[in-house]
């Protein structure tokens, strides 16, 4: 449907000429069209509410302004009179009698950034002058139908996970929008068995199942892929797991640990080694949220260890877009078992946000600016605040100014209400969400155009996670922080409440350890986390119900002691809303309340405090130097594996593309190498290489034979050498396909994790090109431990300038193609 036809229908609808708006809102051909259609949907919702007296004119004007500026159009409204002095810069042309919207942005805002976000020109993608082979393999083609990966980042992430040996943990970073879901999909169908995918929100679980069922090519899809959340009938899921039909289960850590039905059936699946993979999506949450209001995330450590006792071959995959060094250290401590740890780092900074810092003169001026930003900036919009009380205050202020279709989402929002809000938010039923940090991760709304921070987050990582809710459709968005002079001190005071004093940590520990409710069995201590401390001061736990404060702080103390190695958590036992931690004491000082205990606790408290303060100072430094130093510098410093990137900020308007030419793999992945089996070694007869002379038609059969011998890598000279026969290969195993460019980049980074085992090289081109490739392969792969090379070429090429043939330069014999492929 063309633009003019759409605009005509919208005008008819708003003038009551038609009862329905015959537009398919979810059928945009790309992100830009999808956003525009949803802009109309939000206008329709606002108009209906206004018509039904569900909310006032201002809510409608916000949606109308977005529509007029996004479509760069005007409109005739016969039934609605818009005041001339409205605050939304919507005016009426006296000649045409049509309404139009002017940009009319505040002078403290970068106008170009906002116009760019309204016009929705596609964000600049990271292109490279290097041409990498993005082919998938026969197994992935069979499972998903995909012939190519979206990017080299995705290809490295997928094979990084698929190559994970039994019993290993692989941490994978892949940028937002990079296609992480393909990792869980291919991993789940790589082997027969169950993959448990731990996700943070119901909406993410539901969306992952929806996407997986669209992509996975299986006739039994409905009995293989499931998600569970409160209110879902568990019986079919439990039955599928018991019958060993289920392949993927998306579930929250709370349901995994607290739901007895799932706890029992997964233990049973694990005992029979039907459980193959544990995937933790948005794995940074284990650290960021697991130490406070989502403590079941840090309980996953002990849960996984119990699974490994009877099933040591389980593979664990940790997924996220970016990791800070502190986070990786904790995840490695939690999930690395006997050093079985791999990192696939394709970290990169977001390309979509344009950053702006707005400084208000006072609290009153801050509220005035906030109202102006809500009226004039593009929507949907998230307004982030520090506390539930702040969310209520802003909502009341917006209501007082006629903006009422606004919702709040905080740590005090109950479970059923959370689902209701998320569903309505994703469905465009309102376009302004006021939230604390409890909202965001895993919420699948891709078209948020503005993220407005009305407070200073405690560190750049927390800030980046929140602003990252914007622009997930890969289109431009705005990240605006609006603060007044006192906000620095207010934010620092909140930081001081994040780390308990030494005396309080000791008080809570001793109260739990010495309580009659905390039993001791041998060297194990069953710690009841509902015990009140032996001091009288009432502690509050920010952004959570007051009634849970004591339990949350007690759990904070236990997890703090675990992070610093003073205790070991053997098991977590949920019991009617409370948690019993089964722990083993590592540091004997915890047994006696004396000066040694004070010194031990004070030392870790000082370390913990220093981390929070240093991180906060990064935020403070960015604010102080805004306009002089690039705003994204703090992210570049926080995430040590990313390269510089900033779409624009107070310091510069031009894009800083520091990652433009970089290979996406940021750190070497040297180990583990694939182990060569006897049948593979027998093929080479003691040599490091072998040669096959094969015609084009024979090559497909040869590669099929080699895949039966677990061929790990196929190196191609050009795409023409492979595309014509990949689909004809019948051995459906995973195979990493590389061209010369991607092979050289991996070798340069000493990443033989990707290129070990049996490696086949298919040659083509002039004798000089074949010679150069052979010398490179010989120098870098042949005779390397853990690598055997198969050379495939059309003829035994003769190199006149050295008077030698190809076979003269290879440590291995020429094997007749008929000896391995009789029908070739």
pLDDT one-digit tens code per residue, 409-426:
998 888 778 878 988 999
The answer, yes or no, to whether residue 127 has pLDDT greater than 50, is no
The answer, yes or no, to whether residue 686 has pLDDT greater than 60, is yes
Query: What value does the mean pLDDT take over residues 498-512?
Result: 93
Is the bond into 672 cis (omega within 30 degrees of 0)?
A: yes
pLDDT for the residue 285:
85
Tallying the residues shown for the chain, one arrives at: 824
The answer, yes or no, to whether residue 356 has pLDDT greater than 70, is yes
The answer, yes or no, to whether residue 700 has pLDDT greater than 50, is yes
Query: What value does the mean pLDDT take over residues 331-345?
Result: 93
Residue 118: both structure tokens together: 């309204």
pLDDT for the residue 292:
61
pLDDT for the residue 676:
93
What is the C-alpha to C-alpha distance for residues 189 and 436, in angstroms, rounded to an integer? 38
Query: What value does the mean pLDDT take over residues 484-504?
Result: 91
Cross-strand pairs, 579: 574
Q: Nearest Cα to 257, choosing from 554, 584, 575, 582?
A: 575
Residue 272: both structure tokens together: 């029979």
The answer, yes or no, to whether residue 290 has pLDDT greater than 80, is no
Residue 129 pLDDT class (50, 70, 90 cuts):
very low
Residue 467: both structure tokens together: 């602003």
Residue 752 pLDDT class (50, 70, 90 cuts):
very high
pLDDT for the residue 124:
46
The answer, yes or no, to whether residue 335 has pLDDT greater than 50, is yes
Comparing 71-75, 300-304, 495-499, 510-514, the range with the smallest average pLDDT is: 495-499
3-state secondary structure 180-235: CHHHHHHHHCCCCCEEEEECCCHHHHHHHHHHHHHHCCCCCHHHCEEECCCCCCCH
User: Of all helices (H) and strands (E), which one includes residue 792?
Assistant: strand 787-793
pLDDT for the residue 537:
82
What is the C-alpha to C-alpha distance for residues 722 and 715, in angstroms, rounded to an integer? 10
Which CATH number does 353-494+625-657 carry? Answer: 3.40.50.300
User: Of all helices (H) and strands (E), which one includes residue 568?
Assistant: strand 567-575
Q: Position of tokens 């059923």?
A: 416
Q: Nearest Cα to 365, choosing from 153, 677, 700, 106?
A: 106
How do residues 599-614 score in pLDDT, each as one tens digit? Answer: 999 999 999 999 999 9
Residue 549 pLDDT class (50, 70, 90 cuts):
confident
How do residues 79-121 score in pLDDT, each as one tens digit? Answer: 899 999 999 999 999 999 999 999 999 999 999 999 999 875 5
pLDDT for the residue 445:
86
Q: Do the two domains 164-345 and 678-819 of this chain adopt the same fold? A: yes
Architecture of domain 678-819 in this structure: 3-Layer(aba) Sandwich (3.40)
What is the C-alpha to C-alpha distance for residues 250 and 253, in angstroms, rounded to an integer? 10
Residue 172: both structure tokens together: 């994978």
Burial category of 575 from C-beta neighbours within 10 Å (exposed 0-12, middle 13-18, buried 19 and up):
exposed
What is the C-alpha to C-alpha distance for residues 805 and 782, in angstroms, rounded to an integer? 18
Q: Position of tokens 């479509």?
A: 71
How do residues 223-264 score in pLDDT, each as one tens digit? Answer: 999 998 877 889 999 999 999 999 999 998 988 888 889 999
Is the bond into 401 cis (omega within 30 degrees of 0)?
A: no
pLDDT for the residue 294:
75
Inter-residue contact 123 to 471 (CB < 8 Å): yes
Query: What value does the mean pLDDT take over residues 356-385?
Result: 97
Q: Position of tokens 């050498």?
A: 721
Listed by start position, the domains of the chain span 3-104, 164-345, 353-494+625-657, 498-611, 678-819
pLDDT for the residue 660:
64
User: Of all helices (H) and strands (E), which one includes residue 689?
Assistant: strand 689-693
Query: What value does the mean pLDDT take over residues 646-667?
Result: 88
Pairing relationship of beta strands 519-521 and 524-528 according to DSSP bridges:
antiparallel
Nearest 5°: CA angle at 795, between 793 and 799?
A: 100
Which one is predicted more confidently, 611 or 577?
611
Query: Average pLDDT of the chain?
Result: 91
Q: Give the number of C-alpha atoms closer than 13 A to the C-alpha of residue 33, restricted to the C-beta side.
A: 12
Inter-residue contact 278 to 317 (CB < 8 Å): yes
Longest dimension (CA), the chain: 91
Percent of the residues in the chain that have a pLDDT greater than 90, as a whole number: 73
Query: What value does the mean pLDDT take over residues 191-196?
Result: 96
The answer, yes or no, to whether residue 720 has pLDDT greater than 70, is no
The answer, yes or no, to whether residue 498 has pLDDT greater than 50, is yes
The answer, yes or no, to whether residue 388 has pLDDT greater than 70, is yes
3-state secondary structure 431-494: CEEEECCCCCCCCCCCCCCEEEECCCCCCHHHHHHHHCCCCCCCCCEEEEEEECCCHHHHHHHH
What is the C-alpha to C-alpha distance for residues 298 and 567, in angstroms, rounded to an integer? 14
pLDDT for the residue 193:
96
How do residues 152-187 score in pLDDT, each as one tens digit? Answer: 999 999 999 999 999 999 999 998 778 899 999 999
pLDDT for the residue 291:
59
The CATH class of the 164-345 domain is alpha beta
The answer, yes or no, to whether residue 758 has pLDDT greater than 60, is yes
The answer, yes or no, to whether residue 289 has pLDDT greater than 80, is no
- Secondary structure of residue 709 in the 3-state scheme: coil
pLDDT for the residue 412:
86
Residue 515: both structure tokens together: 């309580």
Which residues lie below 8 Å from residue 682, measured CB to CB, with a gap of 6+?
none
What is the C-alpha to C-alpha distance for residues 505 and 501, in angstroms, rounded to an integer? 6
pLDDT for the residue 224:
95
Which one is predicted more confidently, 16 or 126?
16
């Amino acid at each position: 449907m063309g633009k003019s036809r759409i605009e005509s229908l919208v005008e008819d609808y708003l003038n009551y000429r038609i009862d329905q708006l015959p537009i398919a809102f979810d059928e945009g051909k790309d992100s830009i069209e999808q956003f525009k259609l949803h802009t109309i949907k939000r206008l329709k919702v606002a108009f209906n509410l206004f018509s039904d007296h569900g909310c006032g004119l201002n809510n409608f004007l916000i949606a109308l302004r977005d529509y007029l500026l996004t479509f760069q159009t005007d409109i005739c409204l016969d039934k609605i009179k818009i005041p001339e002095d409205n605050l939304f810069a919507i005016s009426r042309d006296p000649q045409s009698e049509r309404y139009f919207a002017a940009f009319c942005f505040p002078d403290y805002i970068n106008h170009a950034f906002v116009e760019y976000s309204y016009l929705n020109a596609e964000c600049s993608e990271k292109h490279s002058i290097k041409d990498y082979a993005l082919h998938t393999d026969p197994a992935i083609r069979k499972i998903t139908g995909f012939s190519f990966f979206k990017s080299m980042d995705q290809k490295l992430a997928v094979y990084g996970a698929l190559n994970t040996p039994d019993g290993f943990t692989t941490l994978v970073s892949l940028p937002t929008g990079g296609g992480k879901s393909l990792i869980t999909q291919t991993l789940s169908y790589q082997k027969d068995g169950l993959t448990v995918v731990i996700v943070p929100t119901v909406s993410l679980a539901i969306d992952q199942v929806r996407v997986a069922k669209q992509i996975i090519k299986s006739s039994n899809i409905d009995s293989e892929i499931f998600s569970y959340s409160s209110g879902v009938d568990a019986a079919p899921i439990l039955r599928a797991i018991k019958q060993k039909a289920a392949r993927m289960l998306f579930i929250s850590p709370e349901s995994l640990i607290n739901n007895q039905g799932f706890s029992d059936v997964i233990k049973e699946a694990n005992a029979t080694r039907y459980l193959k993979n544990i995937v933790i999506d948005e794995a940074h949450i284990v650290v960021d949220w697991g130490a406070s209001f989502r403590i079941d995330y840090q309980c996953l450590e002990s849960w996984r260890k119990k699974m490994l006792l009877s099933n040591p071959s389980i593979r664990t995959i940790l997924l996220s877009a970016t990791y800070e060094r502190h986070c990786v250290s904790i995840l490695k401590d939690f999930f690395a078992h006997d050093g079985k740890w791999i990192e696939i780092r394709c970290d990169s900074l977001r390309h979509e946000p344009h950053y702006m810092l707005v400084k208000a003169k006072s609290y009153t001026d801050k509220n005035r600016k906030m109202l102006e930003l809500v009226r004039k900036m593009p929507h949907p919009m998230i307004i982030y605040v520090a506390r539930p009380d702040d969310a209520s205050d802003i909502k009341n202020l917006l209501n007082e100014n006629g903006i009422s279709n606004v919702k709040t989402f905080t740590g005090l929002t109950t479970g059923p209400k959370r689902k209701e809000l998320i569903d309505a938010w994703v469905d465009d039923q309102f376009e302004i969400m006021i939230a604390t940090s409890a909202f965001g991760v895993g919420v699948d709304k891709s078209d948020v155009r503005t993220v407005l921070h009305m407070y200073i987050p405690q560190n750049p990582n927390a800030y980046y996670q929140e602003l990252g809710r914007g622009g997930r459709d890969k289109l431009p968005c705005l990240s605006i922080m609006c603060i007044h002079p006192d906000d620095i001190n207010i934010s620092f005071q909140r930081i001081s409440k994040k780390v308990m004093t030494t005396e309080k940590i000791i008080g809570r520990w001793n109260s739990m350890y010495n309580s009659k409710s905390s039993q001791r069995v041998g060297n194990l201590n069953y710690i009841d986390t509902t015990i009140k401390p032996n001091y009288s001061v009432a502690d509050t736990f920010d952004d959570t119900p007051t009634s849970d404060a004591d339990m949350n702080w007690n759990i904070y103390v236990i997890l703090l002691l675990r992070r610093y190695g003073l205790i070991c958590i053997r098991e977590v036992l949920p019991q009617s809303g409370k948690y019993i931690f089964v722990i083993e004491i590592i540091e004997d000082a915890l047994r006696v309340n004396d000066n040694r205990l004070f010194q031990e606790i004070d030392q870790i408290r000082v370390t913990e405090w220093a981390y929070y303060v240093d991180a906060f100072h990064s935020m403070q430094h960015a604010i102080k130097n805004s306009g002089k130093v690039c705003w994204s510098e703090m992210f570049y410093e926080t995430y040590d594996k990313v390269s510089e990137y900033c779409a624009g900020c107070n310091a510069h308007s031009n894009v800083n593309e520091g990652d433009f030419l970089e290979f996406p793999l940021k750190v070497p992945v040297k180990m583990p190498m694939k182990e060569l089996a006897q049948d593979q070694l027998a093929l080479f007869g003691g040599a490091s290489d072998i040669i096959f002379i094969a015609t084009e038609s024979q090559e497909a059969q040869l590669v099929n034979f080699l895949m039966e011998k677990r061929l790990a890598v196929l190196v191609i000279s050009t795409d023409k050498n492979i595309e014509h026969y990949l689909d004809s290969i019948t051995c459906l195993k995973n195979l990493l396909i590389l061209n010369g460019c991607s092979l050289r980049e991996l070798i340069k980074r000493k990443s033989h994790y990707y290129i070990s085992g049996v490696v086949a090289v298919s040659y083509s081109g002039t004798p000089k090109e074949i010679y150069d490739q052979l010398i490179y392969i010989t120098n870098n792969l042949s005779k390397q431990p853990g690598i055997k090379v198969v050379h495939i070429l059309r003829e035994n090429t003769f190199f006149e300038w050295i008077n030698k043939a190809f076979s003269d330069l290879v440590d291995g014999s020429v094997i007749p193609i008929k000896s391995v492929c009789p029908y070739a």
